[in-house]
Structure 1
Amino acid sequence: MQPITHPSTFIDSEWKDIIRDTAAEAELLGRLHPKQLALIYQQKWFKALMPVEYGGLNMTLPNLIKLQEALSWADGSFGWVFTLCCGAGWFSGFIDRDIAATEFLNAHTCLAGSGAQTGEALQTTDGYLINGTWNYASGAYHATHFTANCLIKNKDGVVLNDDGSPVIRPFFIDKKDVTLLTTWKYIGMIATGSHSFKIENVEVAQNRCFKIDPSAATISSNLYQYPFLQLAEATLAANLMGMAVHFIDLADVIINQRIVLKKYTQPQTLLLLDKIQNIKADIETVRNEFYSAVEDSWAAISTQSLRSVSITSRQLAKAARNHVDALYPYCGLQAASPDTEINRVWRDLHTASQHTLLVFEA
């Protein structure tokens, strides 16, 4: 494949301007800015992974990854909300078609949720009684529906799989049945509004329960045959790299400005210019390896190709964290000031990179 270009080449400059020009205000609001949301609805980005028959884009994984990296390069919180909400929208390929046909056609349909198994679903005569609390539902303010993992129970206790493990299933819940808990209080990703939500004694029909497995897909498409684990790994890694490239772009400008102002000695200047060049070269290498792995896995799903996605996703995430931290000390106090763009990018990256999925080696 051809070398992967800078993330800026994957989106229109007008989109980037809308996203960046409103990013600081979105952070103050604690949610995406109305102009950012209008762009999402216009482009159907919350429906990027929904099938065409539900008004979605049915986007291929390689194209999705490019868009996610580019939008996170534009702004971390924006890219993260897009990724997590369209990722939840991917579940539409596994949800009962009778529900989907009516629930997903709204232009503003947006799913948020949590993969944590912190709820319970008690089987009833007609369905399930849901109770639980789930954390970190990115895009919660904009969601029309929520997905929530639940431990399945019946009158005799926990329902077990054939291997003796507890049965855990996700549920598709209307926003009216969910209570938001304003718990998101971290240093970065502030505009994601990744709050907790609670469901108390809500009874749902049986077809609100679904299973995430290629054999359980309700839509015939390659998109829903791709494993969820590698889908999640690749999309989150692309987000982190988008933020990292944004930081490196800003750091490059700042360091060169400081060089012009003679803030460094000649040896220090040469060291920094060499460091930036090496970092950009390494970023180019890991991005190319990552995108190649994603392309290969999309072309032919195999144990080897999926393993490569898992490995390169972690390499990409590690490079993002390490290279940002390597340049941070040379950016002066503006990098530490919470009202600057570079500080917001730094905070967003270091908050998003706390996601456990890409912390450990594959």
Structure 2
Amino acid sequence: MAKRDFYEVLGIAKGASAEEIKKAYRGKAKELHPDRNKDNPESEAQFKEANEAYDVLKDPEKKAAYDRFGHAAFDGGMGGGRPGYGGGPGQGDFASAFSDVFEDLFGDFMGGRPGGGGGRSRAQRGSDLRYNLRVSLEEAFAGTQKTITVPSSAACTSCNGTGAEGGAEPQTCPTCSGLGKVRAQNGFFTVERTCPTCGGQGQVVKNPCRKCHGAGRVEVERQLQVNIPPGVETGTRIRHAGEGEAGLRGGPSGDLYIFIEVSPHALFERDNTDLHCRVPVSMVTAALGGEVEVPTIDGGRSRVKIPTGSQSGRQMRLRGKGMPALRGGGVGDMFIELAVETPVNLTSRQKEILREFQEIEVENNPEGASFFKKVKSFWEGMTH
């Protein structure tokens, strides 16, 4: 069976440019790859045919010979293989041909950079930055705006981010011809490595910018206004797109992530959207009942009634006096926990009054009565 015309195989015209040939091959390789056509038994042969065509047409000398003599340029009729052509396209360097599109086919699965092309893309996205920001509980309650200073990098204004003096565009690397990698033949194998001249960028700067030394970016400190929404808590993350490190040689900037830490409060303890406040009350107030004034997180005051006979640890709820939920969703409550205080530094008269109280005190304290009842039962059990 006669071979098909190589231009026909790739679906291009005879006068197609090198870029058009490469683009056409990439499309065919993606379309015909056997892993993507497991139900088509002819895909492998078609895939090899496309590789053979590209191996010839991508090389200017091979292409010129093919344009003049056709397939006969590489078969035995032309002397069993022309010098420099590797014994014909059927025996050509498959790895060399296929590696040009390998990253396009599988780059996403191999963790390649956005935009593909591996080392052939000179622009690199800047790194993301993290900034830890501490706020008070009051600021977390009401929301606030903070001005922060971020150490970062920005595009060099002297070279407009190109890395070249005067803003000139970098030139194609002469060593790797813009591929970012070089190949070395070692017997049957072809070994690829990162280009030592351009470091895999594919381009070089002949006259580096004196301000950024060819990097295209400089170290700066920037001030940034950050809006802190009501309801934030420790661990809340706020993203500022494009406010991270500047990209290398014109690449896009990374993002800035602000991590919130809410400082401990002297009066309130937070539990999600609820607040807890421990309030001391006198022994007399706890026994007779009364009122205490407690602070609220919004800066206000609330009067709380203390029931007669209140014990330490008793909790009372103030509805709607807690923290707001982040991005809406209601407001928590505030819980008051009573701490009954035993008086100290008593005067002689106060001690006398307490002794009189002790003499007439009846055993009707609920917790004490329950405790001593259990003690009595315990002792009785030990005697049997």
Shorter-chain TM band = under 0.3
The structure whose RCO (Cα within 8 Å, separation 6+) is larger is 1
TM-score by length of structure 1 reads: 0.20
Structure number with greater Rg is: 2
Q: Between Structure 1 and Structure 2, which shows a larger proportion of helix residues?
A: 1
TM-score by length of structure 2 reads: 0.19
Q: Between Structure 1 and Structure 2, which shows a larger proportion of strand residues?
A: 2
